[in-house]
């Protein structure tokens, strides 16, 4: 069952989403036969994520909501939170921004208790701000995330946040700041060998 789910993940990473969906279905059926509720919930979430990619929002919501319910029954807060985040992504991708925000906020509440990881909150807030066209809010989030990355000497996230700051400054017409951020991001990317950021 785990093997089928992992194989589905591998197939999905190669872009074969319909085949991945079939493998997740098999994993789901096997989990149900064995009475493995956690495995069932993980397969449901994976199915939901694939249906999201395939452009089937109602099916994606149906699967992921089931996963959230099962993880809730199991008192598995970590996976309940991750599944809530996945559902937020589905809602966001199909324009249901207010509902998406509600789910992201639920995820943040869980994440703060389970993970105690502040960077998740800044990057997630930035994602929401960008989707809603609130670029100044997005810039504020990325600045906080940048400060965390610099404090932790995390050069990968430092480069990523500078790049995002450059893009959002460009969108609101702050061209000099946009150029400055992008030049700094490029310098870090070249320094640490992040070719895909160049």
What residues have CB less than 8 Å from 39, skipping those under 6 apart? 1, 2, 5, 27, 30, 31
DSSP 113-145: HHT--HHHHHHHHHHHHHHTT-HHHHHHHHHHH
CATH of the domain at 69: 1.25.40.10
- Residues 100, 143, single domain; the answer is no
The last residue of one of the domains, among 59, 92, 115, is 115
For residue 26, what are the domain limits? 1-115
For residues 167 and 14, give the distance between their C-alpha atoms in angstroms, rounded to a whole number.
29
The last residue of one of the domains, among 83, 115, 147, is 115
pLDDT tens track of the chain, all 198 residues?
545 555 665 655 566 778 888 888 999 999 999 999 999 999 999 999 889 888 899 999 999 999 999 999 999 998 898 899 889 878 877 888 788 888 877 877 776 677 554 544 555 555 555 555 566 777 877 787 788 778 767 677 788 778 878 877 777 778 888 888 888 888 887 776 654 444
- Residues 127, 108, single domain; the answer is no
- Residues 70, 9, single domain; the answer is yes
Is residue 142 within 8 Å of residue 168, measured between CB atoms? yes
For residues 28 and 47, give the distance between their C-alpha atoms in angstroms, rounded to a whole number.
9
- Residues 60, 123, single domain; the answer is no
> Phi and psi of 59, rounded to 5°?
-65, -40
- Residues 14, 90, single domain; the answer is yes
- Residues 24, 64, single domain; the answer is yes
For residues 69 and 87, give the distance between their C-alpha atoms in angstroms, rounded to a whole number.
12
Q: How many domains does the chain have?
A: 2
Question: Residue 181 has which token pair?
Answer: 């951020």
Question: Residue 62 has which token pair?
Answer: 């149906």
What does pTM read for this prediction?
0.61
- Residues 125, 103, single domain; the answer is no
């Amino acid at each position: 069952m785990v093997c089928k789910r992992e194989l589905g993940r591998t197939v999905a990473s190669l872009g074969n989403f319909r085949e991945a969906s079939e493998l997740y279905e098999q994993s789901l059926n096997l989990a149900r036969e064995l009475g493995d509720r956690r495995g069932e919930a993980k397969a449901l979430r994976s199915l939901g994520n694939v249906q999201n990619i395939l452009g089937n929002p109602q099916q994606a919501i149906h699967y992921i909501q089931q996963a959230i319910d099962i993880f809730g029954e199991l008192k598995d807060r970590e996976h309940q939170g991750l599944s809530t985040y996945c559902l937020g992504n589905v809602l966001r991708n199909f324009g249901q921004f207010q509902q998406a925000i509600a789910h992201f906020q639920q995820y943040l509440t869980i994440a703060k208790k389970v993970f105690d990881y502040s960077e998740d909150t800044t990057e997630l807030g930035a994602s929401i701000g960008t989707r809603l066209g609130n670029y100044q809010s997005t810039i504020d989030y990325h600045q906080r995330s940048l400060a965390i990355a610099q404090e932790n000497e995390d050069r990968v996230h430092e480069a990523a946040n500078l790049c995002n700051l450059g893009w959002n400054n460009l969108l609101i017409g702050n061209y000099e700041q946009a150029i400055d951020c992008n030049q700094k991001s490029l310098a870090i990317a070249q320094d640490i060998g992040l070719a895909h950021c160049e």
